[in-house]
Structure 1
Amino acid sequence: MGNPYREIFTTPGAAGLAFTSSLARLPQAMISIGIITMLVQQSGLYWLAGTVAGTFTLTNALIGPVVSKLVDKRGQSRVLPFVTLFSIAMLLTLILAAYLRAPAQLLFILAAFAGTMPSMPAMIRARWTALFRGKPQLHTAFSLDTVLTEMAYIVGPPLAIGLSMSLFAEAGPLVAVVLLAFGVTAFLLQRQTEPKVIVNSSGNKSSTLRIPSLRIIVLALLLMGVIGGAIDVGVVAFANEHDWPTAASFILATYAFGSMTSGLTFGALKISLPIEKQFLIWILVTAATAVLPIFSPNVYVMAGMLFFAGMSFAPTMVIVMNLGTIVVPPAKLTEGLTWMTTGISIGVALGGALSGLIVDNFGVRAGFGVPIVAGVILVVMALVSLPTLRAASGAPEKLIFP
């Protein structure tokens, strides 16, 4: 049996896409945590740091689909340079305002404007889809993409924190901005893989969220985000409770490493099972492994539990993203992929907030109840929506109006 990853890289433009996408996605993993670290060092106010970073993240999640809708109409090379330049200008102004100790209101406004940064994960997945739509290689390409995303979130946050702590407070977000400029430029220079603009012959300008099966996918990703965000906060609290705060970093690294390991393996497999059944199976696995952290008696067991829990994440993401490329019309692909990214981003924020609230009021172990509840809801949703996904996975749906 041939190596499916070798098959991918023999495709013209694929190697360049993999390399430049790694650079382009790294700033997304650095900017939010960089803002938090910068503002905490400057002001000592955790609420200010968290809410300014949250403003950036929320705005980015909500504006991202609008930017991507424009990309579907005009093309990546015509839209991304202007949107990225505006976001970079706002980020630099935010960093300068923070350095000058500007009023909090100005920081919130600048963070909101900086949130216009394009959703690079959606742009990258749109290119993989353009290369391999309808081919078995798309499964492997999305597996590779998920692994590269995990690597970005392993490298990015520690890099941003380390720069701000070791050099000066603004160093983390400043380097992230430089990487954003360099990464997006390198990505856009890969013209060979840029998706062609597809004219929407129906003239329908409504949101892809009008597609019922896409709403199911976005909701599934939101609940997966809740699981991941709650586990992140729960692990930090768990490490503090066991008087080993720095252990949180290597525990969460094992979570990501588990996902990377399974993602690479999963991408090499040839699976003939219908995609909606794969969706249900991996949702069940994700929900089952979300129970594991609550049984951990110490840091070492927690790391092991999260390694196994992480192994469910990448395959589930690959299946969900594959399903998304099937149900979303080609002319609206980037917008649809961005809504998926938005779903998981909002879920991470919601999961972290819920877990933190429960930990503060009921203790660390209770915080790990959030992923369990989210997993149960995820399973129920998957079972109820299976007929809709089965009907939609045969061919792209048309937009349905009430």
Structure 2
Amino acid sequence: MPFARYRPVFAAPGALPFTLAGLLGRLALAMYGVSIVVLIADRRGSYALAGAVSAVGVLAGAALMPLLGRLVDRLGQARVAVPAVLATALPTGALLMCVRSGAPDWTLFLCWALSGTSPNLGGMARARWAHLHRNDAAALHRANALEQSLDELCFMAGPVLGMVLCTTLAPEAGLLAAWTLGTVGTLLFAAQRGTEPPLPESTQLASAGRGLIATRGFPALLAGFLAAGLLFGSQEVTTLAYTDALGRQSAGGVLLALVAAGSCVSGLAFGAIRPRRPAAVRLAFGAGAMTLLMLLPLAAGRAGAGLVVLGAALLAAGSGTAPTMISGMTLVQELLPAHRMNEAMALAVSAILVGISTGATLGGALVQHTTPGTGYLLPATAATLALLTTLPAALRTRTP
């Protein structure tokens, strides 16, 4: 694997420090989901309540993220990220107190929703890469591949770390550790001012009121991200239900880690290849491969295969997601103006988050009323939807 090709990505001064700082923040993001569920389920004795509070937090974050992104584009990353992450301290602390004190359930929903002001470090990092490598398409492609692989790495390690802390120290330990890591990571990230994209000029600010949704091609791209989120959310619930039905609930986390591992490796490999086709075409090819690979866990689940076979199928299926996401983020950087990049990235991530929440809900309903393996129909369908939304742009694109 020619990982030496990633060296030019870090040639810009300060690239490595902001990448490592952002990694801390994203690790925290990956810890939040399992930490909040374990905390509420343990202290209140209800997984239904825990799942509902977690879902409300995801949706609140999805709603606030584009607004924070627009502020970042106008005021700068550091000036918005620092107060935004510090503002999470009060509602997070209040949530812990409400859980322990037996406060009414509605207080948990309110506190966790108000905690959704954490800035989108992944989007801000991609905005920095877009600025640093604006004249080098190959380096930007590799930077996006690196970011996606780091995301997958965090979602391999984050849930495991959160679960270990919650079960070995205290139910509150996972959430406290996630908040600490997220705050420290964000503050360190914001301190790297040398790589922060410049503020827009007054003429650019005058056009900032126009909605990004009106940008040609962007609505279809957001629909693709929504479908990808639907895939992620439904696949997670279906996998956990399948292992539970086999009496091996603890293996669910391992299987989900295999999905992330497949995506991480394929992302690094995809980034090492010099792109020769337009991003829209690469996105369609990625979505097509993802659609075909998602048939593997569907076949394994419907056949009632064991964990080894299902694990191999999920590992292969995961390898199709990273190239699709990398190409999608690259296309966002190409379609949207540089002075609106943080808002654009936030909209993309929000679409994914809404998809994840919706996919988890639909997946849970499907596995509740069918055999567990049938639930893999939903991620396979979501992958097909992602392909259908990306094909028109690819067909309009003329390859060089």
State the TM-score, normalized to the length of structure 2. 0.94
Shift of 1:134: 3.7
- Which string of whole-angstrom CA distances, capped at 9 and with x for unpartnered residues, describes residues 127-170 of structure 1? 11111124110111111111111111111111112111111111
User: Which consecutive residues of structure 1, in runs of 5 or more, have no partner in the other structure?
Assistant: 395-402
- Verify: 1:222 aligned to 2:230, yes or no: no
Shift of 1:385: 4.1
Shift of 1:221: 1.0
Distance 1:39 1:68 in 2: 30
Query: Relative to structure 1, is the Cα distance of residues 286 and 2 closer, same or farther in structure 2, using a 3 angstrom cutoff?
Result: closer
Aligned partner of 2:313 in structure 1 is: 305
* Contact 1:214–1:336 (8 Å) recurs in 2: no
Letter in 2 for 1:88: A
User: Which consecutive residues of structure 2, in runs of 5 or more, have no partner in the other structure?
Assistant: none
Distance 1:378 1:210 in 2: 20
TM alignment of 1:196-275, pairs within 5 A: 196-199=198-201, 201=203, 203-204=206-207, 205-275=209-279
Distance 1:193 1:107 in 2: 38
TM alignment of 1:127-142, pairs within 5 A: 127-135=128-136, 136-142=138-144
Aligned partner of 1:364 in structure 2 is: 372
Aligned partner of 2:39 in structure 1 is: 38
Aligned partner of 2:288 in structure 1 is: 284
Identity among equivalent pairs (%): 28
Distance 1:88 1:68 in 2: 20
Aligned partner of 2:6 in structure 1 is: 5
* Contact 1:73–1:199 (8 Å) recurs in 2: no
State the TM-score, normalized to the length of structure 1. 0.94
Distance 2:395 2:289 in 1: 20
* Contact 2:62–2:350 (8 Å) recurs in 1: yes
Distance 2:385 2:325 in 1: 17
Letter in 2 for 1:197: L
- Which string of whole-angstrom CA distances, capped at 9 and with x for unpartnered residues, describes residues 174-199 of structure 1? 11111111111111111111111113
Letter in 2 for 1:286: M
Aligned partner of 1:88 in structure 2 is: 89
Letter in 2 for 1:289: L
Distance 1:212 1:93 in 2: 43
Shift of 1:225: 1.2
Shift of 1:379: 2.3
Distance 2:392 2:11 in 1: 41
- Which of 338, 353, 368 is matched with 2:361 structurally? 353
Letter in 1 for 2:240: V
Aligned partner of 2:195 in structure 1 is: 193
**Secondary structure at the residue paired with 1:11?**
coil
- Verify: 1:77 aligned to 2:78, yes or no: yes
* Contact 2:280–2:390 (8 Å) recurs in 1: no
Letter in 2 for 1:215: P
Distance 1:212 1:226 in 2: 23
Query: Relative to structure 1, is the Cα distance of residues 37 and 328 closer, same or farther in structure 2, using a 3 angstrom cutoff?
Result: same
Distance 1:138 1:289 in 2: 27
Q: Which moved more, 1:338-347 or 1:95-104?
A: 95-104
Distance 1:94 1:284 in 2: 43
- Which of 344, 349, 360 is matched with 1:341 structurally? 349
Distance 1:382 1:200 in 2: 34
- Which string of whole-angstrom CA distances, capped at 9 and with x for unpartnered residues, describes residues 275-298 of structure 1? 221111111111111111111111
**Secondary structure at the residue paired with 2:203?**
coil
Aligned partner of 1:376 in structure 2 is: 384
Shift of 1:259: 0.7
**Secondary structure at the residue paired with 1:201?**
helix
Moved runs in structure 1, 4+ residues, more than 4 A? Answer: none
TM alignment of 1:18-57, pairs within 5 A: 18-57=19-58
* Contact 1:200–1:331 (8 Å) recurs in 2: no
* Contact 1:29–1:157 (8 Å) recurs in 2: yes
Shift of 1:240: 1.4
Letter in 1 for 2:185: G
Aligned partner of 1:160 in structure 2 is: 162
TM alignment of 1:54-69, pairs within 5 A: 54-69=55-70
Letter in 2 for 1:284: G
* Contact 1:76–1:194 (8 Å) recurs in 2: yes
Aligned partner of 1:400 in structure 2 is: none
Aligned length: 392
Aligned partner of 2:150 in structure 1 is: 148
* Contact 2:141–2:275 (8 Å) recurs in 1: no
Letter in 1 for 2:319: M
